[in-house]
Amino acid sequence: MQQVIPRIDPAPSRWSYRFQRLMLTPLYRRLLRVGLPVLAVAGLTAGYFADQQRREDVMLAVSDIRHQIETRPEFMVNLLAVEGASLGVQEDIREIFPFDLPASSFDLNLDEIRVMIEDLPAVAEAAVRIRQGGVLVAEITERQPVALWRTRDGINVIDIEGEVIGAVGARSERASLPVVAGEGAHIHVAEAMQILQAARPLPQNIRGLVRMGERRWDLVLSSGQRIMLPETGAVRALERVMVLNTAQDMLERDLVAVDMRLAARPTIRLNETAMEEWWRITNMTLGAD
Label the pairing between strands 123-131 and 154-158: unpaired
**pTM greater than 0.85:** no
Share of the chain above pLDDT 90, in %: 40
- DSSP 8-state assignment for residue 129: E
**189-198 helix and 234-248 helix, angle to the nearest 10 degrees:** 20
Q: Which domains occur in the chain, in start order?
A: 73-142 (3.10.20.310), 184-283 (3.40.50.11690)
Q: What is the pLDDT of residues 22-56, one digit of tens each?
A: 777 777 777 777 777 888 888 888 877 777 887 77
Phi, psi of 117 (to 5 degrees): -70, -40
Q: Is the distance from CB of 126 to CB of 117 less than 8 angstroms? A: yes
Rounded distance, CA 180 to CA 162, Å? 11
Is residue 279 over pLDDT 60?
no
Q: What is the pLDDT of residues 255-277, one digit of tens each?
A: 888 999 987 788 888 766 555 55
Identity of the highest mean pLDDT range in 4-18, 34-48, 79-93: 79-93
The region that residue 162 occupies, defined by phi over 0 for left and psi between -120 and 50 for alpha, beta otherwise, is left
Helix, strand, coil share of the chain (percent; to 5): 45, 25, 30
Rounded distance, CA 269 to CA 259, Å? 8
Rounded distance, CA 161 to CA 125, Å? 14
